[in-house]
Structure 1
């Protein structure tokens, strides 16, 4: 009865709307916004509205929606006859070592690491603990991001990479002595490199303020550069100092850029153990759409050019290379490893995995990321143990798929992957990445030294 009554009430309204849609000229047609959305895109219209309302730079979580790295143009090459798949009784090794030349190398069970997502600047403490616990279960490392080491995260993480950051929150000897590797953060993909930002007093709770050592009533922030690094020579001195004072691996993280080779020339002068290349598709809790969408270099190209340059300078064995920025699947990770990366950071997809069925606590009333963000309105609703379990399962699932693909390619260890294991559907991209083109017989490029990892 109620349904029938509602239909009778709505029928005249819908009839009138449809009539206007199909008969009115465009200036008076209520559906003219359809063509506006098609021209401008719904996202641009929404962001224009927010800018018009606030008059401030936007801060968009999760990073750019653009997918500029054409991973789908690359395929992996299985073996069946001329070389055989790996025998069933062979244990396939996915272990990786970060900074093998350091006094205390970081040894992990998988090449998939959790990237830097800071407590306070990005995520809430429950999510950071869940990421640390999940990573530990899977035998891998998590990263502090641009924050300090909290007692809770350190206790939950078997392996913790700490970012020596532009806010200075982890740069003291007391903090640096707590981590298993030091990553000097000079920029990140989702921030278009490095820009300054501030954190107001009202955006910090007591726990974070004490951890960051901020006086009551004070504010803090990060600069566009490390205070002690104002020249390439300063970076060389900083890395040398850290290497002298700490036995753990010391690395450098930069955003991928078209000036990749010039940046690498500077890094090559340092004693760094590893390099992290963060592509444009990387995630973040809050960066402007301009920095996310319109700056930097896609991960695929940043990684490819990094490996090419290091090999060309006979420096490939000097550095562990970690690729970061938008990785979503085991297949994309395998392609990055075959292209030359030693390990891969994941971030946004790790958050999604940790949230898993807990998103029902937010949707449809609230965005799911309110469960994960530092100032998220639903932070207290997030279940740490469930989140860590789901993340660990995700990582272990990815590791099993890595092993399956390695078996099909006749490999016994992740380190055996090389560019001969890739084929590209686009000839120009194949030339740029120095891998085989799908339209050319494999024999034409397998003998080339460029095919070697």
Structure 2
């Protein structure tokens, strides 16, 4: 029996050796045959039978559209695409900063630059943060895992900024780890405990967001498991409901009373609201002013969420660039600039984006997708190449247990620190000793329409002409 086995093994080794020699010597001939045969099929078959038909098909429809339509055909249900809209929106890349080089001069690199921010300056207890970058609302349980939420909260505390709870359950460990804590008061049954309201440094009514507008949703028990259900007070088979309204037959006066109630319960922390930036943003801001808010968070059209219907993400809202300009201008028109803080988010991925938004009138920036990718950093390699990187951060992710909190803290903290230092060096290059000195007067654009829309110089026009134009317009 052993002799037969040896013969079989020897035969297999010999066969593999022959195949190896054949490939080694004849690989060029093999490749030529394959290419010739494939080329003949591609170049001679009619379009109706040709695999190449897929190229004009994808170019006509788009790869993503084809993919999503096939998913609709498979499920018969609403799609929930992560990370918001994938279409190209007008953005901040066509705007640049004006350096100082001859007179005045840049600020010395060793000199500190002040970047502290106060949110809700007219509130009884304004929220003061050391940097203008805050971590946006990303829900525990509904979206992020416990480990990721704790890592983000700790990183926010270590860098002197605030983290937003999101509309998920209020994780006790996140509360303990956080420094400045923003409670997102959502249209849900959970996250409204009085002790949490009193713990919050700021409270945000979530009226809408960039990728979902004012719509809610239902999360099935299969898509929301583990400890999060207990924290959110859900029964075993209970669906988690995110509603469209706080009250039945809701009115603006109801929301105004809610703002006042939260202001009293919290002891006077800033109370504000988050909205998705829409075509009537000025009217929305007027309504928020009527409600008596201390801050307004505007989420632009490029904003993301864990999962939103593509129609809401792609075909609603206005670009973040347009939103910040219109919102800042309207607050100034209503003489609320300096009284009501403006926070902006949506498609902001680099320190340059952050600083341009601040120059255009925002008081602070919310970071969402960008901080999620940085907190996960090398953790994403645990799920690749067979699963998407988010499987390391979602609460339902297959690799969430591989996420190490201490590593996430380091990654997020380093990103926030590096971004802040880049902002400081940019301010020095503009001759600024403080973020408060920054304005849209420090901007130009190489796109004439963008320059005209914002009210900043067009880079092709001589500076003297721009100065004269500005003086004549102001007079």
Q: Deviations over 1:397-417 (max 9, x none)?
A: 001100110000000111111
Instruction: Determine if contact 2:163/2:180 at 8 Å carries over to the other structure.
Output: yes
1:36 positional shift? 0.8
C-alpha distance in 2, partners of 1:129/1:135?
10
Instruction: Determine if contact 2:131/2:420 at 8 Å carries over to the other structure.
Output: yes
Q: Name which of 83, 87, 100 aligns with 1:62.
A: 83
C-alpha distance in 2, partners of 1:14/1:83?
65
- Alignment correspondent of 1:231: 251
Q: Deviations over 1:86-120 (max 9, x none)?
A: 23442101111111222222111110111000012
C-alpha distance in 1, partners of 2:443/2:344?
17
Q: Name which of 126, 136, 143 aligns with 2:157.
A: 136
Instruction: Determine if contact 2:169/2:228 at 8 Å carries over to the other structure.
Output: no
C-alpha distance in 1, partners of 2:315/2:362?
25
- Alignment correspondent of 2:336: 315
Equivalent positions of 1:267-286 (< 5 A) are 267-286=288-307
Q: Name which of 405, 410, 416 aligns with 2:426.
A: 405
Instruction: Determine if contact 1:420/1:446 at 8 Å carries over to the other structure.
Output: no
Residues 1:44 and 2:65 aligned together: yes
Equivalent positions of 1:31-430 (< 5 A) are 31-191=52-212, 193-227=213-247, 230-246=250-266, 247-430=268-451
Query: Secondary structure in 2 aligned to 1:91?
Result: coil
Query: Secondary structure in 2 aligned to 1:189?
Result: coil
Query: Secondary structure in 1 aligned to 2:291?
Result: coil
- Alignment correspondent of 1:443: 467
Unaligned runs of 5+ in 2: 1-19
C-alpha distance in 1, partners of 2:103/2:31?
69
When Rg is computed on C-alpha atoms for both structures, the one with the higher figure is 2
Task: Using the TM superposition, name which of 231-240 and 391-400 deviates more.
Answer: 231-240
Instruction: Determine if contact 1:161/1:179 at 8 Å carries over to the other structure.
Output: yes
C-alpha distance in 2, partners of 1:77/1:220?
50
Task: Using the TM superposition, name which of 354-363 and 2-11 deviates more.
Answer: 2-11
C-alpha distance in 2, partners of 1:350/1:361?
18
Moved over 6 A (4+): 5-8
Query: Secondary structure in 2 aligned to 1:161?
Result: strand
Aligned positions, number? 450
1:229 positional shift? 7.3
Instruction: Determine if contact 1:436/1:445 at 8 Å carries over to the other structure.
Output: no
Q: Deviations over 1:39-77 (max 9, x none)?
A: 111111111111111111111112222231321111111
Task: Using the TM superposition, name which of 121-130 and 300-309 deviates more.
Answer: 121-130
Query: Secondary structure in 2 aligned to 1:253?
Result: strand
Q: CA RMSD in A?
A: 2.0
C-alpha distance in 2, partners of 1:164/1:414?
30
Instruction: Determine if contact 2:155/2:412 at 8 Å carries over to the other structure.
Output: yes
Task: Using the TM superposition, name which of 53-62 and 222-231 deviates more.
Answer: 222-231
Instruction: Determine if contact 2:197/2:265 at 8 Å carries over to the other structure.
Output: no
C-alpha distance in 2, partners of 1:269/1:229?
19
Instruction: Determine if contact 1:114/1:142 at 8 Å carries over to the other structure.
Output: yes
Task: Using the TM superposition, name which of 135-144 and 9-18 deviates more.
Answer: 9-18
C-alpha distance in 2, partners of 1:346/1:252?
17
Query: Secondary structure in 2 aligned to 1:160?
Result: strand
Task: Using the TM superposition, name which of 20-29 and 328-337 deviates more.
Answer: 20-29
* Pair 213,339 (structure 1): closer, same or farther in 2 beyond 3 Å: same
Compute the TM-score of the two structures, normalised by the length of structure 2.
0.90
Q: Name which of 434, 441, 454 aligns with 1:433.
A: 454
